[in-house]
Amino acid sequence: MKMPDMSPHDFYQVNASHAFGLLASSAEMRFERLTRLAKRLFNVPVAFVSLVEAHRPWPLQKHDDGRHAFAAADLLVVQDTVLDQRFEGNPLRMGESRVRFYAGCPIRVGNGDQLGTLCLIDDQPRAFDDDDQALLRDLAKMAEQELFALELATIDELTRIPNRRGFEAMSEQALSLCKRLGKPVSLFYFDLDLFKQINDRFGHAEGDRALQDFSAILSRSFRQSDIVGRLGGDEFAVLLPNTGKPQAEVALRFLEKAVKLHNRTVKRAYKLCYSVGHVNSDAATSIAELMRCADARMYEDKKQHGHHDDGAFAALLDLLLPRKYRH
């Protein structure tokens, strides 16, 4: 049974492949000061940060009067759209609010990927010299610093997936969207079993690696439209938009197979195991309530497995550790 995906349009805001895009509204609030500054410095009527899509890499095109559109490695400038044949018949060049000038500088994240663009627009053609270009680059760097601050607030440093704050913010957006569209939502609440014993027996560095392994398995096992987060310690959650109980159970079985494959193929001195609680959207009206219900069910699952007691470690040693690591 295949889990249903929503259309890219419906689920643009719940694409978990990039946490920044999912928190675009928060980022845009941070950019208000920056865009006001850009308008004053360049004396343009419009300045904005686009996190939705980057500008197109238009090729170099020169014109007889010296005015031209040019694309440097890190920015794009169109000094006069009237002199650019690609704008002929374009609605942006018509009407009272027509665009005659455009400048855009990419905004990049830590790995170099372009997340958006700092844009300037004017209804009059204008020159844009080297000093102007340097200033626009400086402002784009300020935008990148704002995004870095947002990353620190919403991304777990160890696993590089959303932390509790990021997960809750993204999940609230997804839940609200699903409610408007009349679509179901499922949520899984995970806890790594015997994580304390992994730390105690093999050290905290190995415990960190177990968390990284499990988060990577979660990220690979679910869809891009699903939201995976580390809530803290050894607790994780996954929100599955447009997913009812039958489809969620299929997803959980897929995850079980992935964890078993990891335990068979990755040479660790222990095996990953987990407890999980599952709840559907009809059980709650908010992400906080969904998480409370799923958390309670996760602890019931843990009790059934006998993993809630630290003394269970000795009893489950045969399951978790190869013989050569037993003492």
In tens, the pLDDT along 100-115 reads: 899 999 988 766 778 8
Is the per-residue pLDDT at 43 higher than 50?
yes
- 124 burial via Cβ count (<10 Å: 0-12, 13-18, 19+): exposed
Q: What is the pLDDT of residue 93?
A: 56
Residue 249, number of CB atoms within 10 A of its CB = 14
Q: What is the pLDDT of residue 61?
A: 38
- 66 burial via Cβ count (<10 Å: 0-12, 13-18, 19+): exposed
* Residues 290-315: tens digit of each pLDDT: 999 999 999 999 988 765 544 444 44
Is the per-residue pLDDT at 147 higher than 90?
no
Q: What is the pLDDT of residue 128?
A: 94
What residues have CB less than 8 Å from 62, skipping those under 6 apart? 68
- Domains of the chain as residue ranges with CATH: 17-154 (3.30.450.40), 164-325 (3.30.70.270)
Average pLDDT score over residue span 252-258: 96
Average pLDDT score over residue span 21-25: 49
Q: Enter the pTM of the model.
A: 0.67
Average pLDDT score over residue span 220-230: 92
Least confident of 25-29, 205-209, 215-219, 271-275: 25-29
Q: What is the pLDDT of residue 74?
A: 80
Which tokens hold the place of 313?
Answer: 């470690």
Q: Give me the torsion for CA of 13, 19, 21, 23, rounded to 10°.
A: 80
Is the per-residue pLDDT at 97 higher than 50?
yes
Average pLDDT score over residue span 184-198: 94
Q: What is the pLDDT of residue 99?
A: 84
Long-range contacts formed by 312-319: CB under 8 A, 24+ apart: 312/194, 313/194, 313/197, 316/194, 319/271, 319/273
Least confident of 109-113, 145-149, 172-176: 109-113
